[in-house]
Structure 1
Amino acid sequence: MEVGEVGRARAIQVQGMLAVLRHVHAHPATTRARLARDLGLSRGSAAEIIARLHALRLVAESGAEPTGARGRPTRVVHRHDRGPVVAVAELSHESWGVAIAHLGGELCPVRRERHDRPGAPEDVLARMGAALREVQAAYGTRLRAVGIALPGTVSDGRLVAAATLGWRDVDIARGLGIPFSMPVITGNDATMAGVAEARRGSAADAGVALFLTVEVGIGGVLLERGRAATGATGAGGEFGHMPFGDPALPCPCGAHGCWDLEVDGRALARYLEEPPPAAPRTAAGAVLHRARTGDAAARAALDRVAGNLGRGVAGLVNALDPQVVTLSGLAVVIADLAGPAVRAAYLAGLMGFRRRTPPPLVPARFPDDGSMRGAAELAFDAVLSEAGLDEWRRDARDAAG
């Protein structure tokens, strides 16, 4: 066989292995028959690829549950117990966590700690980095990538600004002290949560989806076929800093009139003529509880925030044309408690032709750990690549001597 033909044959083999791996990742515990059907493979080709992947300890097979149907029972293809893993870390305005994710998306928490939101990031990042190094020590070469979800604007691997933490221009990889050479994917937490919803959650069937979450301010992302549209530097999706609010109000981001200031605990406190809350998320929860239990003033404040939320969503739908809008965080609570106000403002803000079939507003499937799940998906994108597969095979050869 000529050199060029050898190269082409190898490329076809690699692409076949990656196609099977990605299918197993997207469909954990898939059957061999379904895998072959979905990928357009013959039974023989599927069996050959699976055997190669099994030899590399990437996938394994087991017997399927009996169905009573005639014919040879199919086999179930799933992750190998000694296969690759990725580490994921999540930083929020009040805590941080580290977990391990396996092929197929299974998430296994490792550690979760609260922090006191210090102005300097060194202590928090050092503790997160120590937890990641413990994971590396435990998993060795099985650890193939790291995904990190951050509560602020992220660009080119740096946390440009996290207003709730008081952090600016932080080199995350350096702060974590990550010594190992492997892909480190950093991103905004809302963006990563949106990825989880688009790939495995409430927007999994949508080609174009909009994800929005309210915590302290509002974050989100537009997703096309499970991939986040984050712009030239990775800082796209800062919907909370669109000028949908009062232009007289300064935002910690440096702009005025940001939507952030109209949809969270700061807005609720302002409408109630209360002092700005030190902990907007906690304060919002308290006001929403009062509204739920019949407090008229809290209810009026909630309805104003609900209208602000609905109008802003309408503006984004008009501009971005998603098939579905997935809501998370306080946005779900607001929509539950003040659904008519949200929907009325949403429909009123839509262009006329959109009102006939407006994109539905649906709650997120992963309201608690979406950002970690999304970080794992993006980290596995690096693992399930030609470079990632080549590196795994090289390490397997080296381990075999």
Structure 2
Amino acid sequence: MSLTGVPTGTEYVRRQNTGLVLRALRAHGPATRTELARRTGLAKATVGTIVAELEAARAVTQDDDSVSSGRGRPGRPVALTGESILGLGLEVNVDYVAAVALDLGGNVRVVETRPVATAGTPPSTEELIELATDVRTALMADGHTVVGATVAVPGLVAHDNRTVSWAPNLGWDGRHLAAELEEAFGADCPTTIDNDANCAALAEAAHGVTTDVSHSLYITGTIGIGAGIVQDGRLVRGGAGFAGEVGHMPIGNPSRVCGCGRMGCWEASVGLRAMLSTVGIDEEDTPLQTALAVADLAARDASTRAALATLGHELGTGLATLAAVLDPAAIVLGGYFVPLGAYVVPAAGQVLAERLPSASIHLPQIRLSSLGIHAAALGAAEDALADVYAGTLAL
């Protein structure tokens, strides 16, 4: 180990090889040591050493039933479990905070959402810190190891992945959020920050409705509108890491003021509060509860259905603009759009087909998120485990 704490030499190689074995098990399922050696290109003896270490760390288990793989003794399948090794994903938004704990095997262990008591004022971090510490303390009390945390925020994140550069709907500018949480954790849980749409896009690619495509576009559906762009399992971040701030494209109603202070932003026409203004009802505790109330009203009221169709038209205009530039195989609508899909997707799809120049050759599918309001927190939990899979964090 070097003086900087970065592994060098054989330690670095060992961690990289460990990450390779973990990724092989996550991607392709259980395998004998011989099969793992084939998958990874590592020597069987090296795989055996790594499996023994992972088993000691409770990251893998070996099945008692042997499987023949040709010549020699039958092998025992190795399976990725990692039930005690967790990544903590958090999300802070205007009206709620959420937490998801994900184990190394990709299984969700904890899901929790709490409304925040900040109506009419920018939120503090107190609710987020309280939720994060409560969940982490409970997990540790049950014998789990939380290897790291990632926070999803609706705004721009600095290159250090620790600072919220600009989140207008939260009223945050240059907030050192990762440091605040690490202090609350007692400085023993590495914490990073990422954009909420990026996190949700990763979650959909790993667990949701875009596992079958290589290129996808995810659209958040909260007070703010953001996008996450995934290509071959990786996020497209842009030159400064700010790709996806689509809510501030100047394609909305020019008479509407956005939370950023500008006029005519797309999210001022299709964000949650814009939708509520259109249908004329009040906001409830969470975006999901609000959308369910609107869906219930739309089922009974023709004027509400017409208002949502108009919103769908404005949504489709923005989707056509984005699809013309990005050419996604699928577009995923998340957040409040999901319960209202029956009322907004037909109009959005019609505009997309009419306005996209390449529609006759390729028309991206509009899909509704299958992960609900916790998509961003789930993607953040995946990110919190990324260093383990990359082999840069020892178990």
> TM-score, normalized by length of structure 2?
0.81
Tell me if 1:17 matches 2:18.
Answer: yes
Secondary structure (helix, strand or coil) at the match of 1:369 reads: helix
Tell me if 1:348 matches 2:354.
Answer: yes
Q: Distance in 1 between matches of 2:225 and 2:65?
A: 44
Q: Is the 8 A contact 2:67 2:77 kept in 1?
A: no
Give the superposition deviation at 1:378: 1.0
Of the structure 1 ranges 152-161 and 372-381, higher mean CA displacement relative to structure 2 is found in 152-161
- Residue 5 of structure 2 corresponds to none
Gaps of 5+ in 1: 1-6, 393-401
- Residue 388 of structure 1 corresponds to 393
- Residue 78 of structure 1 corresponds to 80
Q: Distance in 2 between matches of 1:265 and 1:14?
A: 44
Q: Is the 8 A contact 2:66 2:74 kept in 1?
A: no
Give the alignment partner of residue 260 of structure 1, picking from 264, 267, 275. Answer: 267
Give the superposition deviation at 1:358: 1.1
Of the structure 1 ranges 104-113 and 378-387, higher mean CA displacement relative to structure 2 is found in 104-113
Distance 1:300 1:279, change over 3 A: farther
Q: Is the 8 A contact 2:30 2:77 kept in 1?
A: no
Q: Is the 8 A contact 2:100 2:112 kept in 1?
A: yes
Give the superposition deviation at 1:196: 0.8
Q: Distance in 2 between matches of 1:279 and 1:248?
A: 28
Of the structure 1 ranges 58-67 and 329-338, higher mean CA displacement relative to structure 2 is found in 58-67
Of the structure 1 ranges 132-141 and 325-334, higher mean CA displacement relative to structure 2 is found in 132-141
Secondary structure (helix, strand or coil) at the match of 2:305 reads: helix
Secondary structure (helix, strand or coil) at the match of 1:325 reads: strand
- Residue 108 of structure 1 corresponds to 109
Q: Distance in 2 between matches of 1:81 and 1:332?
A: 31
The amino acid of 1:359's aligned partner reads P
Q: Is the 8 A contact 2:102 2:109 kept in 1?
A: yes
The amino acid of 1:143's aligned partner reads V
Tell me if 1:144 matches 2:147.
Answer: yes
> Where do residues 2-401 of structure 1 align in structure 2 (5 Å cutoff)?
13-27=14-28, 29=30, 35-36=36-37, 38-39=39-40, 46-63=47-64, 72=74, 75-80=77-82, 84-109=85-110, 112-117=113-118, 119=121, 121-128=124-131, 130-131=133-134, 134=137, 138=141, 142-155=145-158, 156-176=161-181, 177-271=184-278, 274=280, 281=287, 285-293=292-300, 295-351=301-357, 353-389=358-394, 392=395
> TM-score, normalized by length of structure 1?
0.80
Gaps of 5+ in 2: 1-7
Residue by residue over 1:291-344, the C-alpha shift from the partner in whole angstroms, topping out at 9 and shown as x without a partner, is 222x22212211111111112111111111222212222323343224432221
- Residue 3 of structure 2 corresponds to none
Q: Distance in 2 between matches of 1:248 and 1:174?
A: 39
Q: Distance in 1 between matches of 2:382 and 2:23?
A: 11
The amino acid of 2:212's aligned partner reads D
The amino acid of 1:180's aligned partner reads A
Q: Is the 8 A contact 2:291 2:340 kept in 1?
A: no
Q: Is the 8 A contact 2:95 2:286 kept in 1?
A: no
**Which structure has the higher relative contact order (CA within 8 Å, separation 6+)?**
2
Of the structure 1 ranges 128-137 and 338-347, higher mean CA displacement relative to structure 2 is found in 128-137
Q: Distance in 1 between matches of 2:302 and 2:231?
A: 42
Give the superposition deviation at 1:185: 1.8
Q: CA RMSD in A?
A: 3.5
- Residue 3 of structure 1 corresponds to none
Give the superposition deviation at 1:31: 6.2
Distance 1:337 1:276, change over 3 A: closer
Give the superposition deviation at 1:371: 1.5
Q: Is the 8 A contact 1:262 1:305 kept in 2?
A: yes
Of the structure 1 ranges 47-56 and 314-323, higher mean CA displacement relative to structure 2 is found in 47-56
Q: Distance in 2 between matches of 1:327 and 1:319?
A: 18
Q: Is the 8 A contact 1:26 1:104 kept in 2?
A: no
Distance 1:302 1:275, change over 3 A: closer
Q: Distance in 2 between matches of 1:387 and 1:66?
A: 32
Secondary structure (helix, strand or coil) at the match of 1:257 reads: coil
Q: Distance in 2 between matches of 1:269 and 1:284?
A: 9
Of the structure 1 ranges 91-100 and 200-209, higher mean CA displacement relative to structure 2 is found in 91-100
Q: Distance in 2 between matches of 1:80 and 1:285?
A: 36
The amino acid of 1:358's aligned partner reads L
Secondary structure (helix, strand or coil) at the match of 2:206 reads: helix
Q: Distance in 2 between matches of 1:364 and 1:278?
A: 21
Residue by residue over 1:331-365, the C-alpha shift from the partner in whole angstroms, topping out at 9 and shown as x without a partner, is 233432244322210111201x3333212122223
Distance 1:197 1:137, change over 3 A: closer
Q: Distance in 2 between matches of 1:11 and 1:158?
A: 28
Q: Is the 8 A contact 1:161 1:253 kept in 2?
A: no
Distance 1:103 1:122, change over 3 A: closer
Q: Is the 8 A contact 2:100 2:374 kept in 1?
A: no
Please state which structure has a larger fraction of its residues in helix. Answer: 1
Secondary structure (helix, strand or coil) at the match of 2:377 reads: helix
Q: Distance in 1 between matches of 2:265 and 2:245?
A: 10
Give the superposition deviation at 1:374: 0.7
